[in-house]
Structure formats: C-alpha cells, structure tokens
Amino acid sequence: MKKNSREIIDVLVRYFILLIVPLNGLWIFYFVFTPLTIYPVYFILSLFSDVSIFGNLMVINRQLPIEFINACIAGAAYYFLLILNLATPKINLRKRIIMVVLSFIAFLFFNLLRIFLLIGVIYWGYLFFDIAHIVFWYSISTIFVVAIWFVQVKIFRIKEFPFYSDLKYFYSKIIR
C-alpha cells in the first residue's frame, strides 16, 4: 500500500505543478528566458553591426528595429516541454530535473538559431520575412519541441507515455 500511496502522491504533485505554472500567463518562462534570448542575440549581432538595446527592443545599425515579443521568447514551447516531462511517470527526480534543464537549453539554442535566421531573412529582403516567420513559428518551432522530447526519450530510455501511462495506472487501480 505504501508504494501505491507514493505513486499517487507523485502523480498529484506533478499535475499540481502543471496546473499552477500557467496561472499568471507563464510569466516564469518569460522572466527567465527573455534575457536569455535577447542578450545572446545582442552580443553576437554587436560583433558584426551597431546594435542598441532598449528593453525588449533591439535596433540594428540605427535603422532596423526588432521587437522581442512573448511569441519570440516562446514561453509556451518551454511550458509544453515541461508538460511532456511532468506528465510522464516513473522518472526519478534527479533525471527529471536534468531532462527539464537539457530540454530548455536545447530549445533555447534552437530558438536563438531561429531568431538569427529570421534576422538574416530581414537582411535579404522583407518580402520573404512574413512567410519565413510564419513557417518558423507554426511548423519548425513545434517540430523542435517534439524532436527534443523524442531525443530525450531515446537518451534517457523513457518507457512511459505522457498522460497515457498515468491514466493507465489509475484505470488499473480502479478495476482492481
């Protein structure tokens, strides 16, 4: 019975965290990842161009303003990675923390790459920017998140499925 109690508490804690994180609009992700997104872009661009930064607004060569809105930071993508992680049972706490941190770092890297590619598209011409931005946002960002999750499943040898494994566990307890 003690093992069952621990498993039930584990499920309740994981889903409680998933419910409280988005209560104030995912602010924690934007608080952490806004500077982690803006300042590397600023630093790298400043090696090649005259760049000024004013909060979430970056101006390149005194003529090209780039505003980093919440969608650029992709807080929802970080939350989706957290959901996939916390909705998967039978991962010990140490491994879970490592997985979350590594998935966030991987997505940050891909997001920075996406931003640099879009800035490159701006230099090549505004004509392609809107379509490139839409393709990157709706398709490639989602593919990044899913790919990161699948890579982690492979590397960390995860055998359970998000949500489904928890539902299966509770179903087996109810049937008994």
Task: Give the pLDDT confidence score for residue 19 in this predicted structure.
Answer: 92
Interacting residues of 59 by C-beta distance below 8 A, sequence separation 6+:
51, 52, 53, 65, 66
What is the mean pLDDT for each group of 10 consecutive residues in the chain (176 residues)?
Answer: 78 91 90 96 94 93 88 91 94 95 97 89 74 77 92 95 85 78
Task: Give the pLDDT confidence score for residue 36 in this predicted structure.
Answer: 97
Tell whether pTM > 0.85: yes
The neighbour count for residue 104, using CB atoms within 10 Å, is 20
How is residue 88 written in tokens? 């998967």
CA proximity to 116, closest of 124, 105, 30: 124
DSSP 3-state of 66:
strand
| b/e sequence 135-148, b meaning 16+ C-beta within 10 Å | ebeeebbeebbeeb
